[in-house]
Amino acid sequence: MALPASVPEELIKSQTAYTEPPVIDLHGLSVSFGRRQILKNLRGDLRGKAIGLLGPNGAGKTTLIHTLLGFHPPSAGTAQIFGLDVTNDAKQIKSLIGYMPERDSFIAKMNAVHFVRLMGELSGLPPEAALERAHEALFYVGLGEARYRRLETYSLGMKQLAKLAQAIVHGPKLIFLDEPTNGLDPPARLRMIKLIREIRDSGQAHILLSSHLLLDVEECCDEILILRDGQIAVYCNLEEERKSNRKFLMLETRGDQERFVQALAKLGCEYAVSGHRLKIVLQEGIEVRDLYRLADQEQVQIRRLSYKRDSLEDIFLKAMENGYGRL
Amino acid sequence: MAVYEQTYKRYAGKLTPDWSRFLIIPRHAYESIFSSKLFTAFFVICFVPLLLEAILIYLHHNFTALTIFQASIKDLLPIDNSFFRAFTYVEGIFAFFLALLIGPPLVARDLRNNALPLYLCRPFSRTEYVMGKMSVILILLSAITWIPQLLLFLFQSYLEGFAWFRANLWIASAIFIGNVVWILLLALLTQTISALVKWRVVASGLLLAIFIIPSAFAEIINLMFQTRWGSLLSLNALMYSVTSGLFGLFDRVSGTIAIRDFDDNVVREITLVEPPLWCSWAALFVVCAICLALLSWKVKAYEVVK
């Protein structure tokens, strides 16, 4: 059906975006190893350009990635990637995916070009195309000069880059990056983050970034899924969160803070106390001047006041403290 | 994603057919295997018995050459099933050592370096991985066993005439089946050991032990119980029976043992009867099934701790 010419382009884009299948669609996905249930009834659809997968160690991040890759069969429910079922369409899915594993993984006695070329060929590229793209991928990740060196001689940072090169050599539509900045020094980490952002911004591939480093996820991702004990603790669209302009106020006070806090509660404000610091979410209709008035009434000095956005760290910590759900 | 552009681009070109992807593994493996001069030299030596076989066949049909060597045709081995069986046996030994050289590190190296997830996250199944690794051995061993032997069979048929070819076509099938069973067994055993043991030296030692220890054990059983059924434990004996059967040289009665009293009088004679051929086939089948089960258990992207 043709759309009228007057329909704004953004609206067309947003509508077509949602008619496309989600990048990852979880339908009550559960995974068990023997009697141990690792993933419990995961539900939700992820559509972001770069999806962050967060959670403490043992939350099930890597198991979720492995299940999506078809390494572990679901014990209940299923998942879809671009509308393809992970169990029934595993081969089709794998041709659309690139995977950078967390652990050191390479093929011994090979130089980087040979390794990346082999990986390209296994993804279905003809030998000539695989060789060409292997060179390109290695140059792209910054290993151009070291591409004829054996992988065993690479430093940890170089090995991480070689793993990234093998994950992108066949130009996948979705790239799984499992702890890509693990063990990297600050410059190498920055380089990796820059590469991930470049791939994201190219618009050619979606990224699923699993990490326990909040900063990495915050810098790269527009959508996050926080896992805790194998369940979804929080789903959050960071992009929308940023746009929604939900601001926090950080206050540093002196005086009878307890009475001031009680007065704030009566106003209906959400707050959190930490020593002399107060974190407040202003309710609709309440202005900053109301806070000064309240402070005056309760004889409390406001020494400092600043706006602070809900950072990923706050979201994460809240998810770890509270129940499960959508933020 | 051209080098000079330095941007990420998806691949939109033609893909190779699914069925042929397992052959990528042997192609890349041979690049590294044949980079060793020592291995290449050994591989060339494997063809020496075949050259001898070809010379013998040629001499059978060239009286001028026989005269030069001052030999008569009677001095030469007759070219029949025994002739081809003998060379199958010799090449089988070379095939064993070749498998011993290239087999053990094939899967072990990938397991040691956590490379399996890299293979299996691609449109490349576990079956294709095992097929690919096995074909490294199968292709190379085929090149020194059944392929040249069948060519020599055709050479003999060409020199002897179509009547000989038609009458002895069953020998060709024996050459093919006998060699394929042997190299398949070698490929499965080496891959299984390689998947179980991560160290090359240990894996090579284990492969030797699998052929030597059960054979010794089988002989002990045969001697203790005056039977031949112990041979079912020995892979060498199993293969010997199977190839003898294929080449029409299998005889169930393999000898007799005389039981004597203190005065050296024969009290009783025991005829040693080999297990029937189907038992040998069944035993080989069981060994192969065990290997496949172990491979299926070990060849996984990640080991799951339950």
Question: What is the value of ipTM here, to two decimals?
Answer: 0.85
User: Does residue B141 fall inside a structural domain?
Assistant: yes
Contact A171 B8 (CB under 8 A): yes
Shortest distance, CA B188 to any CA of chain A (angstroms): 22
Q: CA triplet A84, A88, A91: central angle to 5 degrees?
A: 75
Chain pair A-B, CB pairs under 8 angstroms: 136
DSSP one-letter code for A152: G
**CATH number reported for the structural domain that contains residue A256 in this entry:** 3.30.70
Are B16 and A121 in contact, with CB atoms under 8 Å apart?
A: yes
Looking at the fold, whether A71 and A207 belong to one and the same domain comes out as yes
Q: CA triplet A168, A316, A287: central angle to 5 degrees?
A: 120
Of B24, B123, B125, the CB nearest to A95: B123
* Side-by-side strand order, sheet with A206-210: A97-100, A174-178, A206-210, A50-54, A223-228, A231-236, A325-326
Which strand (E) or helix (H) includes residue A274? strand A270-274
**A92 CB near a chain B CB, below 8 Å?**
yes
**Residue of chain A nearest B17, judged by CA positions:** A124
Query: How far apart are alpha carbons B273 and B90 in whole angstroms?
Result: 26
Which residues have CB under 8 Å from B12's CB, separation 6+?
A: A171
Q: What residue type is assigned to position B69 of the chain? A: F
User: Does residue B135 fall inside a structural domain?
Assistant: yes
Query: How far apart are alpha carbons B230 and B251 in whole angstroms?
Result: 17
Contact B121 A170 (CB under 8 A): no
Contact A91 B18 (CB under 8 A): yes
**How far from the centroid of its chain's Cα atoms is residue A48's Cα?**
9
Q: In B, which residues are within 8 Å of A164 by CB distance?
A: none
What's the confidence (pLDDT) of residue A7? 39
Query: How far apart are alpha carbons A293 and B253 in whole angstroms?
Result: 112
Looking at the fold, whether A20 and A147 belong to one and the same domain comes out as yes
Looking at the fold, whether A183 and A253 belong to one and the same domain comes out as no
Which of A31, A99, A122 should be substituted to probe chain B, the one whose Cβ sees the most B Cβ atoms within 10 Å?
A122
User: Does residue B289 fall inside a structural domain?
Assistant: no
Of B1, B15, B122, the CB nearest to A133: B1
Which residue is it, tokens 């220890």? B213
**A102 CB near a chain B CB, below 8 Å?**
no
φ and ψ of A60, to 5 deg: 110, 15
pLDDT tens string for chain B (306 positions)? 555 557 788 888 999 999 999 999 999 999 989 999 999 999 999 999 999 999 999 988 888 887 887 777 677 778 999 999 999 999 999 999 999 999 999 999 999 999 999 999 999 999 999 999 999 999 999 999 999 999 999 999 999 999 999 999 999 999 999 999 999 999 999 999 999 998 888 999 999 999 999 999 999 998 888 888 998 999 999 999 999 999 999 888 877 878 888 888 888 888 888 899 999 999 999 999 999 999 999 999 887 766
Q: What residue type is assigned to position B36 of the chain? A: S
Are A225 and A51 in contact, with CB atoms under 8 Å apart?
A: yes
User: Does residue B296 fall inside a structural domain?
Assistant: no
Q: How many CB atoms neighbour CB B220 within 10 A? A: 12
Looking at the fold, whether A134 and A193 belong to one and the same domain comes out as yes
User: Does residue B266 fall inside a structural domain?
Assistant: no
Which residues are bridge partners to A305 per DSSP? A251
Tokens of B19: 């069925």
Contact A33 B21 (CB under 8 A): no
Q: In A, which residues are within 8 Å of B123 by CB distance?
A: 91-92, 94-95, 122-124
Contact A168 B8 (CB under 8 A): yes
Q: How many CB atoms neighbour CB A70 within 10 A? A: 20
Contact B109 A140 (CB under 8 A): no
Helix (H, G, I), strand (E, B) or coil at B262: coil
Of B3, B123, B302, the CB nearest to A123: B123
What's the confidence (pLDDT) of residue B306? 63
Looking at the fold, whether A147 and A260 belong to one and the same domain comes out as no
Q: Structure pTM?
A: 0.83
Looking at the fold, whether A171 and A283 belong to one and the same domain comes out as no
Query: How far apart are alpha carbons B74 and B72 in whole angstroms?
Result: 5
What's the confidence (pLDDT) of residue A310? 61
The domain in which residue A200 lies consists of 15-242
Of B8, B15, B122, the CB nearest to A199: B8
Helix (H, G, I), strand (E, B) or coil at B271: strand
Q: In B, which residues are within 8 Å of A170 by CB distance?
A: 11, 122
Of B6, B112, B120, the CB nearest to A139: B6
Query: How far apart are alpha carbons B219 and B230 in whole angstroms?
Result: 7
Contact B120 A105 (CB under 8 A): no
Closest listed residue to residue B86, CA positions, set B152, B40, B41: B152
Closest listed residue to residue A113, CA positions, set A162, A157, A52: A162
**A31 CB near a chain B CB, below 8 Å?**
no
DSSP one-letter code for A47: -
Of B6, B119, B122, the CB nearest to A140: B6
Of B3, B114, B125, the CB nearest to A104: B114
**How far from the centroid of its chain's Cα atoms is residue A207's Cα?**
8
Query: How far apart are alpha carbons A151 and A177 in whole angstroms?
Result: 20
Which residues are bridge partners to B253 per DSSP? B273
User: Does residue A174 fall inside a structural domain?
Assistant: yes
Pairing outcome for strands A206-210 and A174-178: parallel
User: Does residue B156 fall inside a structural domain?
Assistant: yes
Q: CA of B163: how far to CAs of B149, B168, B169, in Å?
A: 19, 9, 10
The domain in which residue B127 lies consists of 20-216
- Number of compact structural domains in chain B: 1
Looking at the fold, whether A36 and A110 belong to one and the same domain comes out as yes
Query: How far apart are alpha carbons A240 and A235 in whole angstroms?
Result: 12
DSSP one-letter code for A32: E
Chain A, 259 to 278: residues with Cβ < 8 Å from chain B are: none
User: Does residue B230 fall inside a structural domain?
Assistant: no
Shortest distance, CA B116 to any CA of chain A (angstroms): 8
**CATH number reported for the structural domain that contains residue A41 in this entry:** 3.40.50.300
User: Does residue A157 fall inside a structural domain?
Assistant: yes
What's the confidence (pLDDT) of residue B218? 92
**Segments of chain A scoring below 50 in pLDDT:** 1-17, 325-327
- Number of compact structural domains in chain A: 2
Burial of A316 (0-12, 13-18, 19+ CB in 10 A): buried
Last residue of a domain, one of A242, A277, A293: A242
User: Does residue A134 fall inside a structural domain?
Assistant: yes
DSSP one-letter code for A245: T
Contact A124 B32 (CB under 8 A): no
Query: How far apart are alpha carbons B152 and A104 in whole angstroms?
Result: 49
